[in-house]
Each structure stands twice: as C-alpha cells, then as structure tokens.
Amino acid sequence: MKVVIIGGVAGGMSAATRLRRLDENAEIIVYEKGPYVSFANCGLPYFVGGVIDKKESLLLQTPESLWNRFRLDVRVNTEVTSIDRENKKITAVNTETGEQTEDYDYLIISPGANPRKLPIEGIERAVVLKDVEDSVRIKQMVDDGEIKSAAILGAGFIGVELAENLNHRGVKTTLVEFRDHVLPQFDIEMIEPFQANLEANGIDIAVSAETESISENKLKLKDGRVIEADLVVSSVGVVADSKLAEMAGIEMGVAGGIKVDENLRTSDPNIFAVGDAVEKQSLITDQPQMIWLANLANRHGRLVADVIAGKTAPARKSIGTGIIGAFGMAAALTGITEGLAQRMGIEYSAIHLHPGSHAGYFPGSERISLKVLFDPETGKLLGAQSVGKDGADKRIDILATAIYAGLHVDDLMNLELAYSPEFGSAKDAINHVGYVGNNVLEKKSPNVHWNELESELSRGLKILDVRTQSEFDRGHIPGAILAPVDELREHLDDLAGEEYVVHCAVGQRAHTAIQILSSRGIKAKNLSGGYTTWKFAQDALARSEF
Ligand SMILES: Cc1cc2nc3c(=O)[nH]c(=O)nc-3n(C[C@H](O)[C@H](O)[C@H](O)COP(=O)(O)OP(=O)(O)OC[C@H]3O[C@@H](n4cnc5c(N)ncnc54)[C@H](O)[C@@H]3O)c2cc1C
C-alpha cells in the first residue's frame, strides 16, 4: 500500500506516524512545501516573545528523525501542485530539483489554512504569523530594535497571543478589532475582564475599528483614529486551503472547507482530508462548521490512518474547545456561545456565575467567570465560557468533557471533583453551575440577563439590590432599591405590590432573597451573574462605543 500525504505538520504528520505504527510495510510519502515539518505552530507567538528561546524547540521532528524512527519519506520544500484523480497520481515541484510525480493508493490532504487578506490600502506592509519563518522574521525585526510600536489587525487568538509577546519585548502594541470586543469568539460580557487585564498590562485596544489604510509607521482607522505602528501584523482569521482539492474536482462543503464524511473521506473514495482544510460536523448544532484547532487536526490525522489501515473508527462530531492566556489570565470556551445560538436560532437557557477558583478561606482564591448554555427543556449542555486567573482551564475541560458525554446541567451537581482547599471547594465551581442551572431549569429562580434588564424595567419591574450598603456605595445599577438580604424580611411590607429584578454581586444572595420574597407572594427574577456580569457588560459596551 502506498500512501501520499500533502502537508507535513499537525494533521498530515499525525496520519503518517499513526499509519506506520499500524502498518510496518506501507510506503508513506509526506510532501511539505515549507522547509520544516512537524513544527509547533502554537508556539510561534512565544518564540517572538522570547518565552521559547530557541527556534529548534519549535521543531518537533526533522525529515531525518522521521526516517529513522518511522521510515517516512518526507520531502520538504516540495509543493504538490496538482492531483490527477483518474490516474491516482500527484505532481509536485521541489525548489531545487524541480518537478516530480508520484502515484498513490490513498492520498491524504492536510494543507491547513491560509491567513485571510483584507483589501486595505497599504496591506502589503503587513506581515502574518503562520509558520516558523514568519516568527523568525518578526523576532529579528524586534531584536534589531526596528520595532517600537505595533498594530495587530484582528484580536482573535493569534493576535492576542502575539500582542502579549510583543509587549514582553517592550513593543507598544495596539490590538485593532473590527468587532465590538477582543476575542470575538466569546460573548461580550464574558471577555470584559480579559480585555481589562490586557489594558492593565499595557496593550492598547481599539475595538469597533475598521482600518482605512496602512502607511509607513502608521495605521489609519475609518473613524479618524491614527495608531503608531512600526510593525503591522494582519491576523484577521484564516481560510481553508482547499485550492488543490478544488482544482481536482473534489466536492467542497457549505461552511468553506473540503467536504468529508465521518471517516474523513472526500467525494473521491481514495482521497481523505483532515485538519484546518476540512469542515467538521458540530456535535451541538449537527451542522458543518470550520474549527481551526490543533487537537482536531491531530485527532483526525490519527483517525484517517486507522480508517486506511482497515480499522472502523468513525470521527466523533466536534465540540470546538479552545483556550488563550495572556498576562496571567485565561479565557476558554467550548461548544456554542450565546451569540452563535442566537445567530443559528437555537433555543437555550444561559447562566452566569463568578465562583472562586478554590475555597475562599484559603489564600489565593481567584474569581472564575463562567457562562453556561443548556437546552431550556432538557438541560442538556450546549456550551460554556470560562475566564479567570486561576482554574478557568480546569473548569472548561470538565465542561467540555460533560458536553462530550451528553450530560445535562443538573448532572453537574453530582460530579465528585477533587477537593482540598488549595485546589477547589467542597462545592466546586462546577457543582455550583449544576445548582444554578437546576434552579433555572426547575424555575425556582427565574433568570434575567443584563441585556434584558431594560425591557424588564419598561414592563414595570423594579431593581432590588440585596448587597450591603458599602457594596452599593462602591457602584450600583441606576434606579436600584437597596435592601440587604439580611434585612430583607423587615422590608417585605414596603416591597409588596411590585415585581422585582433582584441582584447581589454574583447571584447567590439574590437567590436567597427571591425565596424570601416569594414566601410573601412577591414575584422576583434573578439578574444572572449579578452586578458583576452587569458591570462587565457596561464596561465592554462603553469601550466599544468609541
Ligand atoms: C501562530 C499560531 C498559533 C496557533 N495556536 C494554536 C493553539 O494554541 N491551539 C490550537 O488548538 N491551535 C492553534 N493553532 C492552530 C493549529 O496550528 C492548526 O489548527 C493546525 O496546525 C492545523 O493542522 P493542519 O495539519 O490542518 O495544518 P497545518 O498544521 O497548518 O499544516 C499544513 C501544512 O501543509 C503545507 N502545505 C500546504 N499546501 C501544500 C502543498 N500543496 N504541498 C505541500 N505542502 C503543503 C503547509 O506548508 C503547512 O506546513 C495556531 C496556529 C497558528 C498559525
């Protein structure tokens, strides 16, 4: 059996090495158009920042090491230029030796994705960060002292990671984002603490910002703002590299990638495709979607090898779980966000919580902001976001696992999670998600969200703040009536006859208050995530309205 693979990084190399482990006799040829294979794309921003100090650390394998261990015939600097499906043959061009052809029994396509290009005046001045050479180039410019300021177009995962790393190198960096908040994959109120932390650490943020032109040392926005930028990096998303497949007449999907079946087979039975170039089927929406993540590329590479070797191993549908860290804070998400649910017309209930990363009595507990979406009828988990300085990663991984396992929000009450005061709480943050979700599911504590407050007030509801006087004095929602929860029973006569949106700092005391109010027949709803979520949303909106 002869297998040809196009693309020698995440998906392609996982397929190649797995296939060798399954079949010692297969002939496996890997084509890579660049000079390096099996490199760590995810480490590139950290090489620019000097966190990873040697380029060699990014190179996980070389053609020689792959030959020695796996007997893989790896051909670098060799671009596959066409696929002849009828004769099961590819043509490739090596930068030194010229054209070559190779026939195949099976072909695996893993060419990844290419940076999206915006039609902006002067865009040719912008660099991208896609491969090792890009990172070496950017690092060299910084090392040479040429770069005092930088603007990064696009505040997605790569843009934000690069901003942090340029900042480490003393470069004054501005994130320029078209949408109204950085990391637009997240819901706006959830990402606010992360944005505020970026700013507190010296990153300038220009959101709701459309770039008009890039000129020497400057970037001009359409709203008149001018940003100093010795270096401009374009990081505005990627598009699947499906060119070769398209040229060969392989069917494309509706979401913008190569269409594959559950065995990652394309419309040609002898050709498979994996990684960033292909559409994935969402476990949540059951729709095809593009997910650009290394874990999926690696997993699909392994799976395709299984299929070729004769093992039946259909691909699981994808959830899409990602994380980013900057300046000691993490933002992570899994499944769908509220924004996506609304765009797709998916019914959901959402809850916000701000529990501690571990027991509050033990030093160093940090707030984790959590938002969890679930089916309003069944409680089945649909998605989650988690932001904080400690423990946000662990909680998102639990929630991703729960979604994978098809758990419901109230199952989370019963999860037995490791606890000692240094690491968690006897009632872990995730157990709290279960309790709050259960209250909402069983309509014990009906929910109002920060963006629904105005319409509730216009229906005549009043805001009842059950925090303490000193919390109220530090900041409150305009028009709120103060009635601290510990004194609430004394005020029930005054409060009777009205309906309320009740809030505390995060939602817990408000839940108790609602039970007290309802014992007197006073109707009340809980402001999800309390004053904390409301304030995050207000701050984010203020920032977005330049
Ligand atoms: C800077 C950066 C940081 C990232 N950080 C993260 C992260 O923290 N977490 C995460 O999950 N994901 C991250 N990603 C995304 C992750 O790297 C990708 O999802 C993953 O690498 C996709 O694997 P792939 O095999 O589809 O494509 P790639 O790994 O991009 O490999 C494709 C390879 O195919 C080669 N190729 C293309 N066309 C041809 C051709 N015609 N002939 C021969 N060779 C060809 C390309 O040169 C390329 O080397 C990051 C990506 C970048 C760029």
Q: How far is residue 182 from each of residues 159, 201, 312, 483, measured CA to CA in Å?
A: 9, 15, 41, 36
Distance CA 518, CA 516 (A): 6
- What DSSP character marks residue 356? B
270 within 8 A of 104, measured Cβ to Cβ: yes
Identify which of 14, 33, 41 to mutate to test ligand 1's pocket (most ligand atoms within 8 A of the CB).
Answer: 41
- Ligand 1 pocket test: pick from 42, 82, 243 the residue with the most ligand atoms within 8 Å of its Cβ: 42
Nearest ligand 1 atom, CA 244? 41
- State the DSSP string of 463-484: EEE-S-HHHHHH---TTPEE--
Count the Cβ atoms, other than its own, within 10 Å of residue 142.
22
From the CA of 157, how far away is ligand 1's center (Å)?
Answer: 14
Lookup: tokens for 265: 């087979």
| Ligand 1 atom closest to residue 11's alpha carbon, by position in its atom list | 25
* Residue (of 136, 109, 106, 121) closest to 43 by Cα position: 136
The C-alpha atoms of residue 472 and residue 125 are separated, in whole angstroms, by 50
Whole-number Å distance, alpha carbon 35 to ligand 1 midpoint, is 14
Cα(40) to centroid(ligand 1), Å = 9
- With cut-offs at 50, 70 and 90, classify the pLDDT of residue 312: confident
pLDDT tens track for 405-460: 999 999 999 999 999 999 999 999 999 999 999 999 998 888 999 999 999 999 99
Helix or strand holding residue 245 (H, E): helix 243-247
pLDDT per residue as tens digits for the range 145-178: 989 999 999 999 999 999 999 999 999 999 999 9
Backbone angles phi, psi at 318, to 5 degrees: -100, 145
Residue to mutate (ligand 1; options 4, 5, 6, 9; most atoms within 8 A of CB): 9
The ligand 1 atom nearest the CA atom of 36: 49
Burial of 345 per CB tally in 10 Å (0-12, 13-18, 19+):
exposed
Q: Rounded to two decimals, what is the model's pTM?
A: 0.96
Pick the residue whose CA is nearest to atom 3 on ligand 1.
42
Backbone dihedral angles phi then psi of residue 488, each to the nearest 5 degrees? -60, -40
- Would you call 176 helix, strand, or coil by DSSP? strand
Residues 322, 291: Cα–Cα separation, whole Å: 10
Residues 268-299 pLDDT 10s = 999 999 999 999 999 999 999 999 999 999 99
The pocket around ligand 1, CB under 6 angstroms, is made up of 6-7, 9-12, 31-34, 41-42, 44-45, 79-80, 110-112, 129-130, 158, 241, 244, 275-277, 292-295, 297
CA of 291 to the centre of ligand 1 (A): 12
Q: List, in order, residues 6 or more apart from 394 with CB less than 8 Å away.
A: none
What is the predicted pLDDT for the residue at 122? 97
Share of the chain above pLDDT 70, in %: 100
The active-site residue out of 2, 23, 40, 42 is 42
pLDDT of 258 above 90:
yes
> How far apart are the C-alpha atoms of 303 and 9, rounded to whole Å?
15
Q: What is the pLDDT of residue 446?
A: 87
Q: Residue 525 has which token pair?
A: 């709803």
Backbone angles phi, psi at 531, to 5 degrees: -60, -30
pLDDT reported for residue 315:
75
DSSP sequence for 136-167: HHHHHHHHTT--SEEEEE--SHHHHHHHHHHH
Give nearest CA residue, ligand 1 atom 27: 112
Q: Tell me the residue type at 176.
A: V
Q: What is the pLDDT of residues 127-147, one digit of tens each?
A: 999 999 999 999 999 999 989
**Radius of gyration (C-alpha) of the chain in whole angstroms:** 26
**CA-proximal residue: ligand 1, atom 30 (nearest):** 112
- Sorted by sequence, the CB contacts under 8 Å of residue 239 that are 6+ apart come out as 113, 114, 116, 256
Tokens (6 digits) for 383: 């998605």
Task: Assess whether 42 carries a catalytic annotation.
Answer: yes
DSSP of 20-52, one letter per residue? HHH-TT-EEEEE-SSS-SSB-GGGHHHHHTTSS
- Angstrom distance (rounded) from CA 342 to CA 350: 12
Name the one residue in this structure whose structure tokens are 């490199």.
Answer: 39
